[in-house]
Amino acid sequence: MKIVVAIKQVPARDSQLSIASSGKWIEEADLSYEINELDAYALGAGLELKEAHGGEVVALCAGPPRVAQTILEALAKGADRAIHIKEEASAALDPLATARLLAAALRNEAPDLILTGLQSDDLGYGQTGVILAELLGLPHATIVTHVETLDGGIRVKRELEDGWFQHVEMPLPALLTIQSGISKLRYATLMGIKKAKTKEVRRVTAADLGVAPLAASVTIERTYLPERTKRTQLFEGSPQEAAAQLVEKLRFEARII
Amino acid sequence: MSILAVMEQRGGVWNRMSFETLAAARQFAKELDTTASAAVLGQSIGHLAGELASKLLDKVYAVEHALLQGYTPDAYTIALRQLVELAKPSIVLFPHTYQVRDFLPKLAASLGRVAVSDAVSHRVDNGQVVLVRQLFQGKVAVDARFAGEAPHFASLQAGAYRADQLAGPEPAGATPPAAAVETFTPRISPGDIRTRPLELFRESQRAVDLGAAEIVVSVGRGIQEAGNIPLVAKLAEALGAELGASRPICDAGWLPMERQVGSSGQTVAPKMYMAIGISGAIQHLVGMKASRTVVAINKDPNAPIFEVADYGIVGDLFQVVPALVEALQKAK
């Protein structure tokens, strides 16, 4: 089975974010980056399928030169090769623009299965995977927590609201967006990193792929820190002082304890 | 220009988030000085469409087809694309449900558009709609404006609009005119549908009912590793509380799935909810924001959890939680 896993590099989860002076995006200068966690789960699911059924796992990532680190980590965790779409403005792309790049990069790949996280931790549109399926003419399922192979296709378990699930069957090739917990997150070993450096990374640009930008149907006018509407009573001082004040409020104001 | 709300039903039962979308559609229409209509898809859904007719709408579309009885992204996309051609709405609104997340990006992309997903509010500026979205798990917001030609698409976050505003001020004694119900039969053939949905099911019965607890103490990523969980368990014990968790804790297997609070776990509304090291992504907030008193302990003063917290301590949970256990024991 040939499996492509589309991964994204995002600012590290505990980053303190501030707004760039342009007011259009966050200040990127001092950020550190990591793989989007749901994409790490998708990579894990792809590697498990490969281990069970044989084949190949190809990591696909669009972004500026810094994403080379995330690609290297994916290779160290077990991906066989990678495609890096070099795109400086990747953070400003809407999901249709990103999916058009990904689709073009897969034009000659013919994968059996494409996996990606159900959304990104940065923009959080939750759309790129589904749009990629549409552009490639593939059936898809979203928010997938389990994948099993059938004769000529797959059966997946989709998560729905309120503790409900549903199985969906579909032929291959197909695209799945992956929910957290589907696989065990993997960590790169030293041996893996050493091997990763010898693996193939195909580097392409939007121009190489012949992808011209479309007129945007949504424009982002302003990026800002949300206004807080609720006034939380915050307790300050040492941990002991803050804890004592909180207990006092819980006893005499909220009357809970 | 007109607004279309696409309602969601399953087996003839509304997803009640649909009525938030309906309220939003009417509000958009009012502010843009245009009309709002609604659509419902399925088979034998005349009674649902009839119910919508009294909601002060211009028109109600009953999109009926045998192949819409169970949800598939292919059939829904085809049917809605045809409905959009027929009704020519300028803005199509959806509730941001799991089902909408499954087909809306496909529908919009098939028309060369990008949907504004999970919008939390809007304003009208120069006769155009500006939608607010949250990024970085609620830490950053953006204003997004539709550009180019209609139709435009957006999905609305759960709770962003209030369904009870649908009642609205109506003239006393007068019955509002009922909207015309138009039945529309889209052209769909069985060969268009590539996925086969099977029956819905639930996992085995939950052993832990967090919903019955008076106090829930939940732990999140801030706890850093499985070995630190007992620290928070001790706090729960001191409060006589049930121990809950955010999703990443259960994904990692540090606590069983049945202790998960949030959109994919349990929804709780206890007397007190204490969130320890939980940043407060929307998926978690929807599971606990109806709690009477919310307490948050987090090292990040900008964490969205403080948006719903009544009381908070900004600090290192590894210092604050033991101090809190001690203070509780002293208070007994």
Confidence label for B205 from pLDDT (cuts 50, 70 and 90): low
Strands B215-219 and B140-146: unpaired
Is residue A13 within 8 A of residue A34, CB to CB? The reply is yes
Per DSSP, the three-state class of A230 is: coil
ipTM of the complex: 0.94
Using a CB-CB distance cutoff of 8 angstroms, which residues of chain B are in contact with residue A181? 247, 250-251
Contacts of residue B266, defined as CB under 8 A and 6 or more positions apart, other chains included, come to: A163, B206, B209, B210, B211, B244, B258, B260, B287
Per DSSP, the three-state class of A55 is: coil
pLDDT, average across residues A111-139: 97
Topology given in CATH for the domain delimited by B2-192: Rossmann fold (3.40.50)
Is residue B160 within 8 A of residue B23, CB to CB? The reply is no
Q: Count of CB atoms within 10 A of residue A171's CB?
A: 14
Give B196 to chain A, closest Cα distance, Å: 5
Kindly indicate whether the domain formed by B210-331 is annotated with CATH number 3.40.1350.10: no
In chain A, what are the domain boundaries? 2-209, 230-257
Confidence label for A185 from pLDDT (cuts 50, 70 and 90): very high
pLDDT > 90 fraction of chain B, expressed in percent and rounded? 85
CB–CB contact B319 A239 (8 Å): yes
Per DSSP, the three-state class of A181 is: coil
Confidence label for B173 from pLDDT (cuts 50, 70 and 90): low
Topology given in CATH for the domain delimited by A2-209: Rossmann fold (3.40.50)
The DSSP 8-state label assigned to residue B260 in this structure reads: B
Interface size A-B, in CB pairs within 8 Å, comes to 257
pLDDT of residue B132: 97
pLDDT of residue B203: 79
CB–CB contact A168 B263 (8 Å): no
Confidence check: pLDDT of A102 > 60:
yes
| Residue pLDDT, tens place only, A191-213 | 999 999 999 999 999 999 999 98
Determine contact: A126 vs chain B, CB below 8 A: yes
Confidence check: pLDDT of B59 > 90:
yes
| Residue pLDDT, tens place only, B262-297 | 988 889 999 999 999 999 998 899 999 999 999 999
| Residue pLDDT, tens place only, B249-258 | 999 999 998 8
Of A141, A228, A232, the CB nearest to B310: A232
pLDDT of residue A161: 85
pLDDT of residue B172: 56
Is residue A228 within 8 A of residue A22, CB to CB? The reply is no
In chain B, what are the domain boundaries? 2-192, 210-331
Determine contact: A219 vs chain B, CB below 8 A: yes
The mean-pLDDT minimum among A90-104, A124-138, A204-218, A225-239 falls in A225-239
Long-range contacts, stretch A161-166, CB < 8 angstroms, 24+ apart: A161/B97, A161/B98, A161/B263, A161/B264, A162/B267, A163/B202, A163/B203, A163/B206, A163/B264, A163/B265, A163/B266, A164/B200, A164/B201, A164/B202, A165/B200, A165/B201, A165/B202, A165/B203, A166/B197, A166/B198, A166/B199, A166/B200, A166/B201
Determine contact: B112 vs chain A, CB below 8 A: yes
Mean of per-residue pLDDT scores for chain A: 95
Determine contact: A231 vs chain B, CB below 8 A: no
A positions 34-93 inside 8 Å of B (CB)? none
| Residue pLDDT, tens place only, B67-88 | 999 999 999 999 999 999 999 9
Strands B128-135 and B121-125: antiparallel
Whose tokens are 């309602």? That residue is B7
Candidates B9, B103, B122, B135, partner chain A, best to mutate (most A CBs within 10 A): B135
Confidence check: pLDDT of B168 > 60:
no
Using a CB-CB distance cutoff of 8 angstroms, which residues of chain B are in contact with residue A171? 194
Confidence check: pLDDT of A250 > 90:
yes
Candidates A10, A132, A160, partner chain B, best to mutate (most B CBs within 10 A): A160
Residue A240 identity: Q
SS (H, E, C) A12-46: CCCCCCCECCCCCCECCCCCCEEECHHHHHHHHHH
